[in-house]
Structure 1
Amino acid sequence: MNAWAAFGIITVASLLFLVVLQGVTLLVGQRIGRYNVVDVIWGLGFVGIAVVALVLGPGDGFRRWLVAVLVAIWGLRLSWHVWRKTAGKGEDPRYEEMLEKRGGGLGVVVRKVFVTQGAAQWFVSLPIQVSAVVGPTHGVGVVVLIVGVGLWVLGFTFEAVGDAQLRRFKADPANKGEIMDRGLWAWTRHPNYFGDSSVWWGVWLIAASAWPGVLTILSPAVMTYFLVYATGARLLERSMSKRPGYPEYQQRTSYFLPRPPRRTSART
């Protein structure tokens, strides 16, 4: 079986997995009365695809296991974090606004939430799928793979540590009404989104360490676009900018890429 035929099998199996996962999550959302449960399975979807690629992929065994382990560590941590963050709370304001504007029917929920997320999971996971069907890494590809793992480690650290720091900050009653500007949050206003983006650029580099993994570059690019401009940092900034102290925080702290906090009043 050639690489493209193997990729076809993996991508179809991944799509079927996502259809089942999103369908079950939709039923759960209907039962509990809130659809933000879909956020919990964002990471789990990638874990499932990584397992599919590991089992069905005929490519280099080392890379398949490496990608599967890295994606599993990232995805399981993220899903656990989101589950703890949303457990016992109401619907996400984003979904409430979407449903109010568009009528709130089941068709809208399916198209705008579940189908959209499933399609995004499939597209962003293309480096995982392709890396499972290509041969061993040689020459300069070894360096690319090592850099990819390093970037994944950097991203995972920013995301996990940033989430932990924010959780501890919010748990302290003395910080009620305050702006989190400590730890990694002093270096970037969105360490979790920066970390997430770095994780996926790292996975892409691992895939790009052997041809034709480099062709999946649009996957991390699209992921970064959504994290920075579409549904991530930019959307959060709109609501946070209205809070007392946040404009000043914006002036001294980098928007996305980490850097030491500024002492000037120049906006970043």
Structure 2
Amino acid sequence: MTIHISDDYYLGITAIITLIYQLIIFLIAFTLQTETVTDFGGGSNVALLAILTIIFSQSNHTRQIIATLFQIVWGLRLGLFCLYRMLKTGHGDSRFDELRQNFSKLLVFFILQMIWIWTISLPVTFLNSPKINGGLDQNFGSVTDVLGVILFIFGFLIESIADLQKFIFRTRRTSSKEFMKTGLWAWSRHPNYFDNIALVSILSPLFTILILLFLSGMPLNERPAHLKQYKAGNWVEYSQHLSRTSCLIPFPPSLYEPLPQFIKSTLFLEFPIYRFNPDSDINNAEGNI
């Protein structure tokens, strides 16, 4: 029998659980002055919501079980991989260089993470909720079911492979001038972000896409990486890499390079906020990064 908690959609209880869980992670991160637990706290929170809502629903229907398992697997892989990577390399996340010691700024980051976690979990939360659970067609195997499974597997593999390739590269590189340009990263400068956006375009709301494109994803990775290569005296080679490699959507370098900048900026989402011009932006970039 389905358990009713707070409301028929489990919105209240999942929000409360996320709030408490993330505040605990925030306090650990701020007290110990470390971001080691941050990404693990995000991924594990996503998995926790899936586990709890399927327990509350008391459901044994195939569609709910598969969707819930997918969310658990995705959340745990992300969280555990990020934790292992941080412990293995000992390298901090550059995004937190200015946040780590600032209570207010770090708290704002965690508030955004709370919203992100709760929002991307909504599809499974709704699916397992009493209001939706009782009215579902429980026969699994429709076209949308099959497409959903294929999309998840495709995206999960791209994200996992891209993260692994980047991790191996970072453990083996010997110079700051080296940058990732092989494997999936030869076709996209951020194949792991493309996977997330491809998945959430169907499985979760617009919020995740906005975060990756305009907040804590691309903006905090693109320009800092450009400035790093410029400072390392590697701008000529790196700028050639930028002109040949799609910013987000995987595409053959030989076809991407001759495309007009207008096409790159629109169809391939290489927005002006990601671009770095040493002649005009160096002072501003150094002040913001």
TM-score band w.r.t. shorter chain: 0.7 to 0.9
Cα 1:161–1:51 shift into 2, 3 Å: same
Query: Runs of at least 4 residues of structure 1 off by over 6 A?
Result: none
Contact 2:44 2:79 in 1 (8 A): yes
Identity among equivalent pairs (%): 24
Q: TM-score normalized by structure 1?
A: 0.80
Alpha-carbon shift at residue 165 of structure 1 (Å): 0.8
Alignment-derived partner of residue 229 in structure 1: 214
Equivalent pairs, count: 247
Cα deviation code 1:93-124 (max 9, x no counterpart): 33332467xxx2x34432x1222211221122
Which whole-Å CA distance do the structure 2 matches of 1:6 and 1:143 have between them?
34
Aligned: 1:251 with 2:252: no
Which whole-Å CA distance do the structure 1 matches of 2:49 and 2:71 have between them?
9
Alpha-carbon shift at residue 83 of structure 1 (Å): 0.8
Contact 1:17 1:48 in 2 (8 A): no
Aligned: 1:50 with 2:42: no
- Which structure ranks higher in relative contact order (CA pairs < 8 Å, sequence separation ≥ 6)? 1
Q: Which has a greater percent of helix?
A: 1
Alignment-derived partner of residue 72 in structure 2: 72
Structure 1 residues not aligned, in runs of 5+: 205-218
Cα 1:5–1:82 shift into 2, 3 Å: closer
Matches within 5 A, 1:253-268: 253-262=245-254, 264-266=257-259, 267=261, 268=264
- Counterpart secondary structure, 1:40: helix
Alignment-derived partner of residue 124 in structure 2: 128
Contact 1:166 1:180 in 2 (8 A): yes
Alpha-carbon shift at residue 60 of structure 1 (Å): 6.9
Which whole-Å CA distance do the structure 1 matches of 2:83 and 2:244 have between them?
32
Which whole-Å CA distance do the structure 2 matches of 1:183 and 1:114 have between them?
33
Contact 1:159 1:192 in 2 (8 A): yes
Cα 1:108–1:58 shift into 2, 3 Å: same
- One-letter amino acid matched to 1:50: A
Name which of structure 1's ranges 226-235 and 116-125 shifts more when overlaid on structure 2: 226-235
Name which of structure 1's ranges 71-80 and 15-24 shifts more when overlaid on structure 2: 15-24
Matches within 5 A, 1:71-90: 71-87=71-87, 89=90
Contact 2:116 2:207 in 1 (8 A): no
Aligned CA RMSD, in angstroms, stands at 2.9
Aligned: 1:151 with 2:155: no
- One-letter amino acid matched to 2:40: V
Cα 1:198–1:59 shift into 2, 3 Å: farther
Which whole-Å CA distance do the structure 2 matches of 1:96 and 1:174 have between them?
23
Cα deviation code 1:124-161 (max 9, x no counterpart): 2111111223312569x811121111111111111100
Which whole-Å CA distance do the structure 2 matches of 1:107 and 1:83 have between them?
24
Alignment-derived partner of residue 111 in structure 2: 115
Alpha-carbon shift at residue 199 of structure 1 (Å): 3.2
Structure 2 residues not aligned, in runs of 5+: 265-289
Contact 2:185 2:191 in 1 (8 A): yes
Contact 2:155 2:196 in 1 (8 A): yes
- One-letter amino acid matched to 2:167: R
- Counterpart secondary structure, 1:233: coil
Alignment-derived partner of residue 92 in structure 1: 93
Alignment-derived partner of residue 207 in structure 1: none
Contact 2:119 2:205 in 1 (8 A): no
